[in-house]
Chain A
């Protein structure tokens, strides 16, 4: 079963704009990870944030984590057409073998 939900389910923006997507989850976690998936391909790891961290940056990506609200957000700044993809959040817990529990994903379309 899915761990939680992502919001919005789909997002359409112009190149150069920022894209923000949110993820909610249900149970206690150790890490939350964000992945990108291009159509018909596997998942590419973007960023991992630990449960004791609140914010993390990687290039044009900014991730926040609020464990009290069981939610996370991913911000992509200055989007490019190549950012068009589906984005998934996934949580893991050490006691569960670090298996990933995914949300339903946000489909992002960046128009040139």
Chain B
């Protein structure tokens, strides 16, 4: 399967702990996006990369959140000192951007984070 892959699928942790999620985009997709989705709501944008450059961060992304895409391939999203309000599904998506901006984003199955 060559779709977007996210790991882990589920993460349960105690409040105050740090967590890290990984996203492997579709090969050769140079844009990678992170979204957060709470129960019953649509996803909300967090941040995106074009190759290894992080081009935009949402105001939702507090200083406890950091994302990287070191070699322009996989990406990690880290949350430090987790809080109850961080409980959500974290979704990763990728798209091709080679001078053709009308490309759909392809999503992974997400990482569901539960804070105890």
A59 close to B (CB within 8 Å)? no
User: Among residues 22 to 70 in chain B, which have CB atoms less than 8 Å away from a CB atom of chain A?
Assistant: 31, 33, 35, 40-45, 48, 50, 55-56
A-B interface contact total, Cβ < 8 Å: 68
Complex interface: stretch among A14-22, A41-49, A61-69, A76-84? A41-49
Q: Is the CB of A100 within 8 A of B102?
A: no
A72 close to B (CB within 8 Å)? no
CB-nearest residue of chain B to A102: B42
Residues of B whose CB lies within 8 Å of any CB of A are 4, 6, 31, 33, 35, 40-45, 48, 50, 55-56, 91, 93, 95, 97, 101-110, 112
Residues of A whose CB lies within 8 Å of any CB of B are 1-2, 30-31, 33, 35, 40-45, 48, 50, 88, 90, 94, 96-105
